[in-house]
Structure 1
Amino acid sequence: MKKTVMNGNRLTLHIAFGVDENFFRGAGVCIASILEHNPDLDLVFHVFTFGCSEQSRVRLASMSQARGVPMHVHLLDEGAFARYRHNPRGNYSNAIFTRILMPEVLNGITDRVLYVDSDILCRGSLAELAGLDLGECVAAAVADVHTIAQRRIGAMALEGDFYFNSGLLLIDVANWNRARITERAIELIGSDEFVLDYPDQDALNKVAEHRVMKLHPKWNVMFSLLSSLRTCRQKLSISDDAVMLHFGGPLKPWHSWSHSCAQQMFLRYQERSGWGDVPLDAPRTYKQMHQCATYHRNHGKYTSAIIWYGAYLRTKLSFMVRGAMASALLAAGVFSGGLADIASWAGRVLGMA
């Protein structure tokens, strides 16, 4: 089977993202970074989502037209993952499951696709991946960080010592579909067989075991910006051969209190995306407010730190009061709705929503 599409002497690579509305900008900026470093590739981008605002669709379409590169939006059916909420970690956005569904949608469109998380930035050529022979493997991926890998290998009863991070997957569409990876992963997520800390990633590691090629770490270099925030490191330690930088965890480069080097890199690519006019995100949750306060404290901005610590305390107290009031009303049988609906009502009554 032909594994790489050729257009004259150029390679064609399909690249896909799975997002919710909060990560459309991240995908757009990642696309801009890929385009900058891959002028010799013919690229086709796919954005998979369970919901898309008109504004996000327009921004992506404008970027596609301006850059002269195809960028397609694929709307998915949320019903495919109705059962995943039985999992104890069901607080995840449905967006993390889009990579499982992509190969079925792209069947007949491309023989391979590079899935990329939207919190990744590119700083090099992807030609090596575009031409990589996957043989009979369903995908290729990078091993996750050692501490996570060792814990999940035991938890998922894996036979080998390879547990991959699903933030970047080079997928052979035919091999994937032939092995029924999508169907088997959905079945595992919906079952009670394992406690899944990372639902889609754990499931893929289990059902695709021995069928995933191990990639060099340069293709998915993982960083915790939250760790950098706490230690006040000023520079990111990036090896010269690193191609794809993955900013995992709750703190992202588009947060206003993020690591300066990562943020500057993100803003440089954002200027060349369809989101060039969008400001950095301000803290919204009490956890983010605490992170922001820590950032200002560590950088000697003590007045700002005090302001954000105050905002953190007020917001967290509001959250706790709403939750306590909602639980009390539910226990008393005053409401028959869900806890979230009652908490929202309680917030409005208290003037805290």
Structure 2
Amino acid sequence: MNIVYIANEKFALHLGVSLYSLYERNRHEKDIRVFIISTGIGEDSLGKLKSIAKKFDRVLSVIELDSFAKYFDVGLQDASFDISKMGRLLVGELLPDDVKRVLYLDCDMVILHSIRELYYTKLGKNVAAAVEEPTVLERVRYEIRLDCEASYINAGLLLIDLKKWREENLGEKIISYSKSIWDKSLFGEQDAINGVLRWRIKKLPPKFNFFSNYKYFSYGAFIKVYGAVLSYNKKDLKEAKKRPVVLHFAGDERPWCIGSFNPYKRAYFYFKEKTPFRDVPLEKGKRLYMLIYHIMDLITVICPRIRKLISEYYINKAYKRLSERNKERK
């Protein structure tokens, strides 16, 4: 198995938690090669990450990425550019030639069970596999020119046929698409990945990339309120809530924030306590915000339409800021 993470120093702690969970819950796998694309991880943190790999007798390869421009003529490096996010588009250039398939994981993920079924998913003619994001709003899809029939996937977990990826030069094509939607895109490379690969992504069950805040959503809310057209059914969502394989702490209710009510935070702290990062304190100053966020979660159970209205309000504000940024650039 080939696994790749991308992180900077800020996310080194969470990478350590994810890495430990990956190794522990897949300890019976004969071969697990993990590549860390570092965009500024400090030496101390790198030492801790390597000690985790050593504990499980695994090989950890660190690849330093200090510049995106030497690979692609990006033309996007303003204040909003984040090399840690865009770096996943360089997997074809940075990983060894013998890597033909790779599983990309975000650092804010915890692996709770074996990923064998996930990793060996048959892709057929597809170039990647991912899990749909049913709460993405229609305006987001419209602004990035995504066909109404195409599913919008979350790029926090991507199973990639790296052979096809390289042959078709998809990293550069996605960068090119990013340029074309730069003044309308809120989610950067994820929007571009959806735009370029829209018909070539195999849809995975939600258990393989389960957003922790989706615990508060019903299947009916996804379909009736958000208008999602999903490849999975109500039973699949129920299984994901009860027994997620890969748990994704996306959204604002992060377990490492003081006052977080995240319903799955015990999983995060279970693994954190086993890592050399165990003494890193929680993030401060968010107790009131976490309470408000949790109230919104509870409202979602009763009336998901209110949750959608709140999301639309903040998305529209984000687009307004994006418009102002574009005016400043001109």
TM-score normalised over the length of structure 2: 0.73
Q: Is the 8 A contact 2:144 2:181 kept in 1?
A: no
In structure 1, the residue matched to 2:270 is 268
Structure 1 position 189, deviation (Å) = 2.0
Q: Read off the aligned partner of 2:190 and give its amino acid letter.
A: Q
Structure 1 position 53, deviation (Å) = 0.8
Sort the Cα spacing of 1:192 and 1:141 in 2 relative to 1 into closer, same or farther, 3 A: closer
Taking only aligned residues, the RMSD between alpha carbons, in angstroms, comes to: 2.7
Structure 1 position 38, deviation (Å) = 1.4
In structure 2, the residue matched to 1:108 is 97
- Answer with 190-199 or 263-272: which moved more: 190-199
3-state SS in 2 of match to 1:250: coil
Structure 1: which 5+ runs fail to align?
A: 1-12, 229-236, 299-353
Query: % of aligned pairs identical?
Result: 29
Structure 1 position 289, deviation (Å) = 6.1
Q: Over residues 143-198 of structure 1, what are the superposed CA-to-partner deviations in whole Å (9 max), with x where a residue is unaligned?
A: 112343x4433222223321111010001111111121100111222345661110
Sort the Cα spacing of 1:78 and 1:290 in 2 relative to 1 into closer, same or farther, 3 A: farther
3-state SS in 1 of match to 2:48: helix
What is the CA–CA distance in structure 2 between the aligned matches of 1:244 and 1:192, rounded to whole Å?
A: 30
In structure 1, the residue matched to 2:49 is 60
- 1:86-97 equivalences under 5 Å are 90-91=79-80, 93-97=82-86
Structure 1 position 132, deviation (Å) = 1.7
Sort the Cα spacing of 1:217 and 1:292 in 2 relative to 1 into closer, same or farther, 3 A: closer
What is the CA–CA distance in structure 2 between the aligned matches of 1:194 and 1:93, rounded to whole Å?
A: 16
Q: Is the 8 A contact 1:142 1:168 kept in 2?
A: yes
What is the CA–CA distance in structure 1 between the aligned matches of 2:121 and 2:295, rounded to whole Å?
A: 47
- Answer with 271-280 or 30-39: which moved more: 271-280
Q: Is the 8 A contact 2:212 2:249 kept in 1?
A: yes
Q: Over residues 222-258 of structure 1, what are the superposed CA-to-partner deviations in whole Å (9 max), with x where a residue is unaligned?
A: 1349x99xxxxxxxx8623421111112332222222
Q: Over residues 312-344 of structure 1, what are the superposed CA-to-partner deviations in whole Å (9 max), with x where a residue is unaligned?
A: xxxxxxxxxxxxxxxxxxxxxxxxxxxxxxxxx
What is the CA–CA distance in structure 2 between the aligned matches of 1:133 and 1:292, rounded to whole Å?
A: 40
In structure 2, the residue matched to 1:346 is none
3-state SS in 2 of match to 1:213: strand
Does 2:193 align with 1:201?
Answer: no
Sort the Cα spacing of 1:31 and 1:107 in 2 relative to 1 into closer, same or farther, 3 A: same
Structure 1 position 110, deviation (Å) = 1.4
- Answer with 152-161 or 205-214: which moved more: 152-161
- The one of 75, 94, 110 equivalent to 1:83 is 75
What is the CA–CA distance in structure 1 between the aligned matches of 2:174 and 2:8, rounded to whole Å?
A: 21
Q: Over residues 299-323 of structure 1, what are the superposed CA-to-partner deviations in whole Å (9 max), with x where a residue is unaligned?
A: xxxxxxxxxxxxxxxxxxxxxxxxx
Sort the Cα spacing of 1:272 and 1:190 in 2 relative to 1 into closer, same or farther, 3 A: same
In structure 2, the residue matched to 1:277 is 279
Q: Is the 8 A contact 2:99 2:162 kept in 1?
A: yes
Q: Read off the aligned partner of 1:61 and give its amino acid letter.
A: K
Rg: which structure is higher? 1
TM-score normalised over the length of structure 1: 0.69
In structure 2, the residue matched to 1:34 is 22
- Bigger RCO of structures 1 and 2 (CA < 8 A, at least 6 apart): 2
